C-alpha cells in the first residue's frame, strides 16, 4: 500500500489583541522617551579636562584596584527604545568622564562578533571591531587616560574568536597584561594609573566567560578579579548588596579572603516590567543615579562598603547623563562633593 502525501494546513493561534496592546505600549513608551530626551536636550554634558591621570592628580599614585569608576551598563546601546540603555554615544561618554564601558557581544547572522543586546535580532549596535576602533581613536587623542572594557561573551564562544576584531581594530598595543598568575592575583599587585600611563598600557579588558590567558593574555577573566552584586533589579531602594556572581563565591562569607582580595562591581541600574519583559527604567533614572537619597548610588555603596570593607571598583549605571554620577564617583573616591 502506498502512502499518500497530504497537504496539512496548520493554523497557529495568534492573539491579535495582545499583539496590538504590545505594539501600542512600545509606541507610547518610545514617544515618551523621545519627549524626555527633547525636554532635557538643553542639559549639556561637560567635557572632562585632561588633568593628572583620569582627571585627577591623586589617581596617578593610586592603584587601579583602589579607584571607583562609574561604568556605563550596555554602553553601545544608544537611543530611546526599551532595549537601549544609554542616551549618548561612546565617544561622548568618554569625553564626559566615563572610564569603564560594559557591553554585550554575540555572533551576528554573518558569523561576526557584534555588539548585540540579548540577540542580534533585537538590537545590533555594530561590529565589535568598529567599536574598538572608536575607543582606540579616543585613546590616541587622550594620552593621560586609562579605560576599562568589560565584554560579556553572550554565546559562550571560544575566546580565540575575539582575537580578530581586537587585532583589526589596532587597539591591542594599548592593552594591559598582568605579570602575575591570575589565580594568585591580589589587590595590592595592581599597578597605579600612573604606571599604566607611563607604560602606555592604558586599556584594561575583561570578559565574563571563557577567558584563557594562554590564548589571549590581554582578555582577562572578569571573575578572577571581580565579583558582582545582583542585576536586573526591580527594587528602587536597592536594599541589598549580596554577592551574586561568580557562583563559586556565593556561599562564602563577606570576610573570606577570596571575596576581600577581589574588586567588585555594584550593579546599580534599575529595571521595570514591560508586559512581562524586564526593561531599563528610564523614568526614575535621575533618582537612581543620585549621589544621596533613597535608592541612590551613595546609599547602596555605603551598604556594600560596610559589608565588604571597601567601596566598589565599578558602579554600573544606565542613562549616566541623568542624576549625579560624577558627584557619586568623587564621593566614593574620597573627594569633596
Residue 60, phi then psi, degrees to nearest 5: -60, -30
Active site residue 179: no
Instruction: Write down the catalytic residue from 117, 142, 179, 184.
Output: 117
Query: Whole-angstrom Cα distance, residue 269 to residue 275?
Result: 19
Instruction: Write down the catalytic residue from 29, 57, 69, 73.
Output: 73
Residues annotated as catalytic (active site), given as ranges? 73, 117
Amino acid at each position: 500500500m502506498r502512502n499518500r502525501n497530504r497537504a496539512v494546513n496548520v493554523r497557529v493561534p495568534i492573539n491579535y489583541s495582545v499583539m496590538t496592546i504590545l505594539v501600542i505600549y512600545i509606541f507610547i513608551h518610545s514617544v515618551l522617551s523621545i519627549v524626555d530626551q527633547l525636554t532635557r536636550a538643553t542639559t549639556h554634558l561637560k567635557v572632562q579636562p585632561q588633568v593628572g591621570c583620569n582627571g585627577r592628580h591623586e589617581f596617578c599614585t593610586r592603584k587601579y584596584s583602589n579607584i571607583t569608576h562609574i561604568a556605563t551598563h550596555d554602553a553601545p546601546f544608544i537611543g530611546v527604545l526599551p532595549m537601549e540603555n544609554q542616551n549618548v554615544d561612546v565617544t561622548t561618554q568618554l569625553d564626559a568622564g566615563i572610564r569603564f564601558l560594559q557591553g554585550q557581544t554575540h555572533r551576528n547572522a554573518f558569523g561576526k562578533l557584534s555588539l548585540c543586546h540579548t540577540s542580534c535580532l533585537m538590537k545590533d549596535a555594530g561590529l565589535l571591531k568598529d567599536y574598538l576602533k572608536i575607543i582606540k581613536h579616543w585613546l590616541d587623542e587622550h594620552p593621560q587616560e586609562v579605560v576599562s572594557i568589560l565584554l560579556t561573551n553572550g554565546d559562550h564562544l571560544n575566546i580565540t574568536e575575539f582575537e580578530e576584531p581586537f587585532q583589526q581594530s589596532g587597539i591591542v598595543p594599548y592593552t594591559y597584561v598582568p605579570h602575575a598568575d591570575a589565580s594568585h592575583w591580589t589587590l595590592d599587585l595592581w599597578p597605579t594609573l600612573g604606571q599604566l600611563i607611563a607604560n602606555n598600557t592604558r586599556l584594561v579588558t575583561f570578559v565574563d566567560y571563557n577567558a584563557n590567558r594562554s590564548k589571549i593574555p590581554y582578555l582577562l577573566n572578569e571573575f578572577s578579579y571581580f565579583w558582582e552584586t545582583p542585576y536586573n533589579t526591580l527594587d528602587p531602594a536597592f536594599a541589598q548588596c549580596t554577592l551574586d556572581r561568580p557562583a563559586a563565591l556565593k556561599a562564602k562569607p563577606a570576610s573570606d579572603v577570596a571575596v576581600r582580595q577581589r574588586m567588585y562591581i555594584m550593579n546599580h541600574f534599575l529595571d521595570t516590567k514591560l508586559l512581562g519583559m524586564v526593561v531599563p527604567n528610564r523614568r526614575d533614572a535621575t533618582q537612581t543615579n543620585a549621589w544621596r537619597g533613597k535608592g541612590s548610588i551613595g546609599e547602596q555603596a555605603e551598604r556594600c562598603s560596610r559589608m565588604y570593607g571597601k567601596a566598589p571598583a565599578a558602579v554600573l549605571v544606565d542613562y549616566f547623563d541623568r542624576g549625579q554620577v560624577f558627584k557619586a564617583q568623587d564621593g566614593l573616591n574620597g573627594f569633596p562633593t
